[in-house]
Amino acid sequence: MHDSRDRELGMHRKITRRDFINGVAVTTGAAMMPWHLLAADEPTFPEKSPNYYPPSLTGMRGSHPGSFETAHSLRDGTFWDSAGKPQDTGETYDLIVVGGGISGLAAAHFYRKIVGAKARILILDNHDDFGGHAKRNEFRIDSAFRLGFGGTFSIESPAPYSAVAKGVIDELGIDVPSYSKYTDQNLYRSLGLRSRIFFDQETFGADKLVINPSHRGGYDSEDVTQGPAALLKQFLADAPLADRAKRDLQRLYEEPNDYFPGLTSDQKKAKLARMSYASFLKDVAGVHEDIVKLYQAMPHPLFGVGIDAVAAQDAWGFDLPGFDGLKLDPTPGKGMNRDAIANEEAEKYFFHFPDGNASIARLLVRKLIPDAIPGNSMPDVILAKANYGKLDDSSSPVHIRLNSTAVRVKHLGDAATAKDVEVSYARCGKVYTAKARNVILACWHVVIPYICEELPDKQKEALASAQKVPLLYTNVAVRNWTSFQKLGVDSVYAPGMYHTYVHLDLPVSIGGYQCSRKPEEPIIVHMMKAACRPGRPAREQHRLGRIELFSTTFETMERKIRDQLARTLGPGGFDPARDIAAITVNRWPHGYAYEYNSLFDSFWLEGGETPCEVARKPYGRIAIANADAGAYAYTDEAINQAWRAVGEITKA
């Protein structure tokens, strides 16, 4: 049974995955092997090989094999048992940055602006590619070239960018308002495509694709032909929901009710801040359980958890139904998540590159090491082929050393008076040391207590509380999107499926790169999964989700992807065995920075110092950046925190 279903799904078909074991190339030789698999006598500069080109790898990417094992053995206390004595590289830098994400790259950029372009800087990152979450996925599908985003998707934030973050965006030549020049915004609408909901057999009793009545769940599901009432009517006629559930949904949308009569708006908000949206729906609005299941996964893209762990006050901010009758004052309530606060100016602030914010990382790398990314304009970075051999080259004052996990960061002497900090890092099976006048830890905060033992206990505790949100960002390269066209769909919300969101790639063409415009052409289908465990506190959900992502094989994920696409798009003629050309799963067990949540973080409601303020305090010659330092999972925050950290180490 399993075998025949596997054949239908195309598990036997040759896709690029066949060349990989969980994302590890076995055909291209040592150049692409993770360092820990290299024999001791293999060359220790895989990045110098002409074959070294991580963006074109498919299979398991993101936290790929070879990137996390060292950090996990540090966590488990076993790393130093077999590490051997570190070898001194003899290198001394002005600055060592741990973490080659946007925060680390921005920190190096700011440092050079303040100290001078000759400043010697070493950036260490444990992955085989730079950019942190801002990763580029490349695909060749027959003769077509397609780009996908492996993580950070766009320049956006509910809060408008700070002057500092805007300054970096401007310096990189990114003219945010010019986005409309590059995107074919009406392409999908003009072909009759729109956002739909996939009801699955296991959760709702039938597999069915139904119109999405909400403005949530699509990149832009504003419907120009049907008003909201007509959409809701169509949805209610088609959805495989219990009759009572349908009546309840209509009631939520069309019969406003004041569930808390006698309370002021502030009192109502205070109540909503302390109850989940799932409880609001069940216990306050008294809706049928099908409605709770329907909305369960809707907040996944923002929070990585479902409505059981999102405050009703935040759900009100997102415009989820049920709140109209409460007549709440529109000003944000205490303890609201920043994502839930509407901000008109920020809504205008959007720019999506075909490879997401990997283009920002690449533009920053071009500023730091011009030889590594050829070209000189924002548009030409899209097709520029990075030269990985130049990232760590003696001819440049700035070095980006990939496949290198920092394992120990310590002042040489007392933190208050030391002149240098020593950084030990593991790379290609060996441990090395280098020295620097200053260090910026732009890496994930949960890692810092294991690598920087000298920090005060209170600070280590605050750092450890920054539990990242586990996510999968999956890119499926398909040979055409005629099934999407036949079914009239460009994005799918699938509350009961493995990936809860599926989108056709945004149609953006920049700098010679051409997106797919005709349904007969290859395209990237983006799928998103939040690994969560509904019913538990958010941090606990993240911890369990992280274990799930690290322990699920690529084969299992591939089977789920093929099955989901077959069930969703099969009625439109999609055949996974025939139509899927390649799959890249960007696995991020340490994904979004943890954002404070009024359900679980009492300090967020009550005020006072937040853990991220304690966590990011400078210590001697060490400063701390990363989006975690602002408890806010956005590119602008990664830049803001880099700016603060550089300010701390450069103020005389």
Ligand X SMILES: Cc1cc2nc3c(=O)[nH]c(=O)nc-3n(C[C@H](O)[C@H](O)[C@H](O)COP(=O)(O)OP(=O)(O)OC[C@H]3O[C@@H](n4cnc5c(N)ncnc54)[C@H](O)[C@@H]3O)c2cc1C
Question: Which residues form the interface with ligand X (CB under 6 A)?
Answer: 71, 98-104, 124-127, 132-134, 151-154, 156-157, 405-406, 442-444, 447, 451, 471, 473, 588, 591-592, 626-627, 633-635, 638
Nearest-approach distance from CB 627 to ligand X, in angstroms = 4
Q: Choose among 167, 155, 201: nearest CA to 496.
A: 201
In the complex with ligand X, which residue's Cβ is closer, 591 or 611? 591
Distance CA 446, CA 60 (A): 23
In the complex with ligand X, which residue's Cβ is closer, 221 or 641? 641
Burial of 612 (0-12, 13-18, 19+ CB in 10 A): buried
Nearest-approach distance from CB 579 to ligand X, in angstroms = 25
Backbone phi, psi, residue 363, to 5°: -65, -35
Nearest-approach distance from CB 506 to ligand X, in angstroms = 11
In the complex with ligand X, which residue's Cβ is closer, 209 or 451? 451
Nearest-approach distance from CB 155 to ligand X, in angstroms = 7
In the complex with ligand X, which residue's Cβ is closer, 98 or 169? 98
Backbone CA torsion sign across 61, 65, 68, 72: positive
Beta strands in 237-283 (DSSP E): none
Nearest-approach distance from CB 203 to ligand X, in angstroms = 24
Nearest-approach distance from CB 112 to ligand X, in angstroms = 17
Nearest-approach distance from CB 636 to ligand X, in angstroms = 7
Nearest-approach distance from CB 75 to ligand X, in angstroms = 11
In the complex with ligand X, which residue's Cβ is closer, 487 or 639? 639
Nearest-approach distance from CB 277 to ligand X, in angstroms = 22
Radius of gyration, CA atoms only, the chain: 25
The amino acid sitting at 238 is: D
Distance CA 343, CA 330 (A): 12
Q: Are 480 and 455 in contact (CB under 8 A)?
A: no
Which is it for strands 622-624 and 430-441: parallel, antiparallel or unpaired? parallel
Nearest-approach distance from CB 589 to ligand X, in angstroms = 10
In the complex with ligand X, which residue's Cβ is closer, 10 or 304? 304
Nearest-approach distance from CB 197 to ligand X, in angstroms = 22
Q: Are 366 and 381 in contact (CB under 8 A)?
A: yes
Backbone phi, psi, residue 380, to 5°: -75, -5
Q: Choose among 482, 442, 483, 463: nearest CA to 572.
A: 483
In the complex with ligand X, which residue's Cβ is closer, 122 or 284? 122
- The pairs formed by 68-72 with CB atoms below 8 angstroms and a separation of 24 or more are 68/126, 68/550, 68/589, 69/36, 70/36, 70/126, 70/405, 70/407, 70/426, 71/126, 71/405, 71/447, 71/450
In the complex with ligand X, which residue's Cβ is closer, 65 or 100? 100
The length of the chain in residues reads 652
Q: Choose among 250, 256, 244: nearest CA to 231.
A: 250
In the complex with ligand X, which residue's Cβ is closer, 102 or 298? 102
Q: For residue 226, what are the CA distances in angstroms to 198, 231, 488?
A: 20, 6, 14
Q: What is the DSSP string of 613-651?
A: HHHT--BTTEEE-SGGGGT--SHHHHHHHHHHHHHHHH-
Q: Are 211 and 198 in contact (CB under 8 A)?
A: no
In the complex with ligand X, which residue's Cβ is closer, 405 or 483? 405
Distance CA 19, CA 57 (A): 10
In the complex with ligand X, which residue's Cβ is closer, 149 or 484? 149
In the complex with ligand X, which residue's Cβ is closer, 442 or 510? 442
Cα separation of the two ends of the chain? 70
Nearest-approach distance from CB 343 to ligand X, in angstroms = 14
